[in-house]
Amino acid sequence: MKLKGGIYWGAGCGGCDVAVLDIHEKILDVAEKMDFLFWPIAMDFKNDDVRAMEDGEFDLVLYSGAVRNSENEEIAKLLRRKSKTMVALGTCAHIGGLPSLANYHTKQSILERVYSETESTVNPEGTMPLERSTVDGNELELPRFYNTVKTLDQVVDVDYYIPGCPPVPQQIVNALTAVFNGELPPKGSVIGAGTKTLCDECPREREEKEISEIKRPLNMIPDPEKCLLEQGLICLGPVTREGCGARCINSGAPCRGCYGPLEGVHDQGIRMISALASVIEPKEEKEIDAVLDGIVDPLRTFHRFSTAASILRRKKI
């Protein structure tokens, strides 16, 4: 019998859905094994279609995007109830992703920025979104915008994780093949990625790491053969899981950490403090500070994709 599958997007950009389509003709093999009963970005489905299903009727649900509002959470819980296996697809569902950078602000400051402060905002009446409003006698509801962005596993039980922003299409194929063949690792595992650091699959040459100046890609043309970190660029390779095929590195850009932390590491960004500070060259406080001054916004650079999954999770209010 054919399997039943669903794909949903919470607070994401749709890039993960595109990555699923980027498996190209292999999508036909997938469609042969599995019917999609729910995939709002690709076809017309209603949430009520899912509500009408039996509990556990989905064999597989891929949930991409973070949990940013009450609708994301509601659908996450609904899909969890209706599925046998639930997979967090992509960085946002896995560790919060870019949307969770909002956790360094508050709901209030974000709404003020967007609806009154930005240079392009024209809002003389000070209109703000309301959770409930009446238009032509009809009552309309909006989901609640949360103060704190959450990872999928902070609101529901997650069976597997496929990291990446977006996940490499071949890794999605590998993960789906594992599901179809029933060759899944223990619950809670990361599938569709390796177990070592990105440095292990990085093709660049490594020598001694001794950084005496932090540089930015906009100010230099990096040597195409040598380790980017050794050249003074902030590369999150040492604290990031392998599996992407070093796609950014091969294009001359340092790793930003989208594949998330390694097994057993709770906080990828904090781990980067450890890794980077170890290879900075000076030993005197003043000279150390001079090197560190070169890191623009260390907190968000190190936690670019993982704020929601970090130890403190958000800025203290």
Partner 1 sequence: MTFEPKIVGFLCNWCSYTGADLAGTARIKYAPNIRSIRVMCSGRIEPTFIMKALYEGADGVLIAGCHPGDCHYQEGNYKALRRHRLLKRILHEYGVEPERVRLEWVAASEGERFAKIVDEFTDQIRELGPLGIKDSLAEAMKDDIDPHEADKEESGVANEA
Instruction: Pick one of 131, 157, 205, 223: the residue that binds partner 1 (CB under 8 A).
Output: 131
Cα–Cα distance for residue pair 211/208, rounded to 1 Å: 9
Instruction: Pick one of 143, 194, 245, 294: the residue that binds partner 1 (CB under 8 A).
Output: 143
Beta carbon nearer to partner 1, 158 or 291: 291
111 part of the interface to partner 1, by CB under 8 A: no
Kindly give the pairing relationship between strand 3-9 and strand 67-69: unpaired
Beta carbon nearer to partner 1, 32 or 141: 141
Whether 98 and 90 have beta carbons less than 8 Å apart is answered as no
Cα–Cα distance for residue pair 268/302, rounded to 1 Å: 7
Tell me if residue 37 falls in helix, strand or coil: strand
Token pair of 238 as six digits: 């040492």
Beta carbon nearer to partner 1, 92 or 168: 92
Which range touches partner 1 (CB under 8 A), out of 15-23, 26-34, 141-149, 157-165? 141-149
Beta carbon nearer to partner 1, 72 or 171: 72
Which range touches partner 1 (CB under 8 A), out of 6-14, 174-182, 198-206, 283-291? 283-291
Axis crossing angle, helix 169-180 with helix 26-33, rounded to the nearest 10: 30
283 part of the interface to partner 1, by CB under 8 A: yes
Tell whether the torsion through CA atoms of 247, 249, 250 and 253 is positive or negative: positive
270 part of the interface to partner 1, by CB under 8 A: yes
Which residues ranging from 38 to 77 are in contact with partner 1 (CB under 8 A)?
51, 70, 73-74
Cα–Cα distance for residue pair 211/35, rounded to 1 Å: 53
Cite the DSSP H helix spans in 11-160. 15-21, 26-33, 47-51, 70-82, 90-95, 107-112
Give contact residues for partner 1 (rule: CB under 8 A): 51, 70, 73-74, 78, 104, 106, 131-132, 141, 143-144, 146-148, 150, 265-267, 270-271, 273-274, 276-278, 280, 283, 285, 288-289, 292, 295, 298-299, 302, 311-317
